[in-house]
Each structure stands twice: as structure tokens, then as C-alpha cells.
Amino acid sequence: MSVIPATDRPTPQVRRFGAVNWIGLWTLYYREVRRFVKVATQTVLAPLVTTLLYLAIFVLAIGNPAHKIGDVPFQAFLAPGLIMMAMVQNAFANTSSSIMISKIQGNIVDTLMPPLSPGELTCGFALGGMTRGLAVGFVMWGAMTLLVPVGVHDFLFVLFHAVAASLMLSLLGIIGGVWSEKFDHLAAVTNFIITPFAFLSGTFYSISGLPPFWYGVAQLNPFFYMIDGFRYGFTGHADGSLAAGLIVLTTVDVLLWALAYTMFARGYRLKA
Amino acid sequence: MPTLVMPRRYGAVNWRGLWTLCLKDLHRARKSFRYSVLGPVVSNLLFLAVFAVARGGAGSYVGDLTFLQFLVPGLVIFAVCECAYSTSSESLLFDKMEGMIADTLMAPLTPLELTVGYACSSAAMGLITGAAVAFPMLFIVDLPIASLPSILFFATGGALMHGLLGIIVGLWAERWDHHAAALTFIVIPFGFLSGTFYSVASLPALAERVARLNPVFYVIDGFRAGSTGHADGSAITGAVVVTLVVLSLAVCAHRLFRIGYKLKP
């Protein structure tokens, strides 16, 4: 029985990546996108139906067509808020459910084993969630324009706030998904943190109608700035300071990115 | 001489089995208490807050009720319905997905006992959740009780209707997608568009006629009338419609259990 001498075999080389493992990053991103596209009825059509229901309910319940906020008709005021709410909820759902399900089913190792750095993991997941948020937002926008006069006042504001808000909730979804150990925990994050912040952020009403104390509190909510700036992009009506909004959103995005990165780097609740 | 083991005899109804089936689902709901009960409490308080602010001070009367008095019964009864639906459909679907449904089918329970057991436990969960949702709201909004029997009748009717619908969806569904689709495309639109948040009398004529064809409208309207005395439809029609719909859904669910639809080969 002949044995090939070890020296004759080519020594396997460690595969080298440049600064960024582009193939790995693209694969992770592509998987995250394919995940929601495959069940588009649940991830795009369902939010669309829910959002249109909200539109119908609020328009019917608030009633009076002459009802205006500033000089904006109520429907035109409401539409951008609803689009934004659907976007952020879906961006959050994409990353949090992806990580949570992988953890519960044990296939998170398939994501942790490949040569992806913490930065690449954060980036792949975050951009995947952001893509879902933007896709949902785009579909909502299309549907809304058929029903409500939605003009665009400043497209750059629309774009910046859409991207910054989707990214923010997508990062929060990573953090929530990594932190949660059971679906209960994730449901608690959604029910007790995300939904209240989103509902109480001025989606459905102008915060300038609030009593002074609550007006102050509402301005501490980062969700307020993303809805307010996004709405300004459509209607030209803002309740708060736009410059403050740009700073708050950028800062929060950077901080959340750093937190998500740290979680992946330390393997928090992911590695033994 | 070996003693023969005789088959165990039950009377007309296997009471112990029925009771055990009910308890099983109630225990399951209790374990996910935070999610199944506290979740609706928080989201409905949010709805209340948002509507209170968005609706503002001006013109916030529906008939002779304040808007919040009008809104709270709608929110409560819808929470009852949604929770009842989710309890039975999630229970059946979960057991089917995990293969545990055999434990329920093997037990000496007749199709009628299965139907009654699932319907009662889910209706009970719906009523418990409804009470939890109503409780904090009573401190915020001054709610009269016009007729306790109507409140109980329509709350129970709505809970049973949705619990039975949940059984049918739970048996039909093969994946969680199906359950979620029925919730998003059937249960929530039917509830939201039939007067949870607004009086159907304020709808355009055609939309109002359509809303009045929806059995959920009678559940919501009857419950609201029981609490506030404000009715958009007739209480007698409502009681008849709700009873008929509950009975036909029960017959349908019973038949599905009897033929073992998607349960037995």
C-alpha cells in the first residue's frame, strides 16, 4: 500500500481576503433579501393592506374633510407618517426575525462559521433589513398616490429619512434579535418598545397639538424626527427642527451600528 | 383465569376529556401571557391615546357620546375577537406543525367534544383578554353600562364566532403564512372596517350597506349598544345574525373534525 509522501501534496493555503470579503458580504445580503421576497405576500402585501386600513380608519374616524394641520389637509399629513411606520416596522421585522429564527433553529452557525467579520455581518444584515424597509415604503408610496394627493416637496429629505430610518430600525432589529432568547422576548420588544415609539411619534397627529410637557417628551423620541423630516419632504410641513433631526438620526444610526458591531464582535448570546 | 380488560365507558359526554382539552389551551395561553394578554393591552391603550390626540377637541362627539366613549367598546370587543381567533388557530396549527395533534386525536373525544372544547377555551381566552384591555381604560374614560345582558351576549357571541373561525383556519392552514394571511386579510379588515373606530352611519350609503352585511358589525354594534346605549343597527337583528353565524361556523368546524380534514389520512 503506497502512501503519497506528505511533501508531494500541495499544502492547502489559507484563503486570503482583502480588507472586505465582498463575496461573503454579498451572499449574506442576498440571502436576507431573498428571505423576504420569497414570502412577499406576508412581507409586502400584508403591510400594504394594514396600512391602507389605517388610512381608511383614520380618515373615516377623524371625519371632517376640512380638518387641516397647519395648511396641510389631514390625509396628506397622515400618508407620509403611515408610509414611514410601515417601513420601519418591516425593517425591524426583517433583521430581528432572521436572527431569532436562525438562533432558535440552530442554523445561526451557518452565518457565524463563514469568514465574515463582525463589520461584514452587521453590514449584510443591516442592508438586508434596510432593503425591505425601502421596498415596502416604495410600494406604499405607489398605493398612496392613487388615493391621496401626495406631492413631493423636497426629494432629498424623503430619501435621507427613508434610508436613515430603515437603517435605524434594521439595526435595532439586529440588536433585538441577538438579545432575545425566545420569541416571547422579541414580541415584548416589538409590543412594548417599537410600537409605542412609532405610534406616539406624531405619525397620526401633529405633536404641536400636545400639552407642553408631552410636546417636550415627544421631541426626545428619535422616531419623531424620522417621521417629521420624512413628512417635510412630502408636504413642506415640519413640527420640529429639521437640522436637529438630521443630527439625531445620524448620531443614533452610528451608535446603533457600533452596538450591533460590538455584539457580533463579542459573540454576545451567539457564541459560547 | 385472566380478567378481561374492558373498554372504558363514558356517558353521553366525556366530561373529563372535554375539561382537560379546555385546560390545555388555557394553560398554553397562560404561559405566553406577556405576549397574548399584555400585548393587546398596550397596543389598545396606544390606539386610545393616538385617537384621543388626533381627534382633538373639536367635533369629538358621535351621537351624544364623546368620541372616546364611542371608541373604547369597539377596541375592547375587537381585542376579544382577535384573541379568540388567535388562540384556537395557533393552538391547532402549532400542534399540527409539531406533530402533537395526534395526542388530541387519539384521546377518546368525539368531534363534537373537540369542537366545543376548542371553541370554549378560545372564547374564554378572548373574554379574559377583553377584560384586561377594558380594565385600564375604565380609569381613563367614563363608561356607562346600558345593558349587562347585551354586553355578555355579544362579547360571548363574538368570542365564539372568532374562536370557531380560528378552528376552521387552524385546520385548513398548513403553514404559519396561512394563519397570518387569514388574520391580515380577513379578521382584521372585517373588524376594523365594521365600526370598531367609527360609526358606520358616517359611511357613504353603499359602503354602509356593505358594512351591514358583515356579521362582525353586529358583534361590535351590539356590544357597544350594551355598554353605551348607542346603536347603529337593530339589537334583535344583531342577536339573530350572531347566533346564526355562530351555529353555522360550529356545524362547519364539527364537520371538519368529523371527516378529519387535513388531520387524518
Given a contact cutoff of 8 angstroms between Cβ atoms, the answer to whether A29 and A124 are in contact is yes
Q: Which of A55, A63, A61, A59 is nearest to A83 (CA)?
A: A55
What is the per-residue pLDDT across A4-20, written as a single tens digit (0 to 9) for each? 666 677 888 888 888 89
CB–CB contact A42 B192 (8 Å): no
Nearest to B43 among A63, A191, A204 (CB): A191
Given a contact cutoff of 8 angstroms between Cβ atoms, the answer to whether A158 and A63 are in contact is no
In a 10 Å sphere around its CB, with 0-12 CB exposed, 13-18 middle and 19+ buried, how is residue A213 labelled?
Answer: exposed
Collect all residues from A whose CB is shorter than 8 A from any CB in B: 39, 41-42, 46, 49-50, 53, 56-58, 60-64, 183-184, 187-188, 191-192, 195-196, 199-200, 203-205, 209-210
Nearest to B53 among A41, A46, A209 (CB): A209
Residues 120-149 of B with CB under 8 A from A: none
Chain A hits for B35, Cβ within 8 Å: 183-184, 187-188, 191
Q: What pLDDT score does B122 carry?
A: 96
Average pLDDT of chain B to the nearest whole number: 90
Chain B hits for A53, Cβ within 8 Å: 188-189, 192-193
Nearest CA distance, B126 vs chain A (angstrom): 18
CB–CB contact A195 B43 (8 Å): yes
Task: Quickly state the pLDDT bin for A2 (edges 50, 70, 90).
Answer: low
What is the per-residue pLDDT across B180-205, written as a single tens digit (0 to 9) for each? 999 999 999 998 888 888 888 878 88
Q: What pLDDT score does B137 carry?
A: 94
Q: What pLDDT score does A65 carry?
A: 61
Interface test mutation site (partner B, options A39, A62, A227, max chain B beta carbons within 10 A): A62
What is the per-residue pLDDT across A33-81, written as a single tens digit (0 to 9) for each? 999 999 998 899 999 999 999 998 888 887 666 667 777 888 888 999 9
Q: What pLDDT score does A117 carry?
A: 94
Q: Which of B216, B233, B237, B214 is nearest to B225 (CA)?
A: B233
Q: What pLDDT score does B58 carry?
A: 47
CB–CB contact A200 B59 (8 Å): no
How would you classify residue A253: left for phi > 0, otherwise alpha for psi between -120 and 50, otherwise beta?
A: alpha
For residue B42, which amino acid is it? V
Chain A hits for B67, Cβ within 8 Å: 61
Mean pLDDT of B13-17: 91
What is the per-residue pLDDT across B109-123, written as a single tens digit (0 to 9) for each? 999 999 999 999 999
Q: What pLDDT score does A75 carry?
A: 86
Measured in degrees and rounded to the nearest 5, phi and psi for residue B109 equal -120, 130
What is the per-residue pLDDT across B212-256, written as a single tens digit (0 to 9) for each? 889 999 999 999 999 998 888 888 999 999 999 999 999 999 999
- Can you tell me the ipTM of this complex? 0.82
Chain A hits for B190, Cβ within 8 Å: none
Percent of chain A at pLDDT > 90 equals 65
For B71, the closest chain A residue by CA position comes to A61
Nearest to B54 among A46, A58, A188 (CB): A58
pTM of the model: 0.87
Chain A hits for B180, Cβ within 8 Å: 42, 46
CB–CB contact B50 A205 (8 Å): yes
Distance of alpha carbon B90 from alpha carbon B83, whole angstroms = 10
Tell whether B53 lies on the interface with A, counting CB pairs under 8 A.
Answer: yes
Q: How far is CA B150 from the centre of its chain?
A: 16
What is the per-residue pLDDT across A181-227, written as a single tens digit (0 to 9) for each? 988 899 889 988 998 998 888 888 888 878 888 888 888 999 999 99
CB–CB contact B193 A56 (8 Å): yes
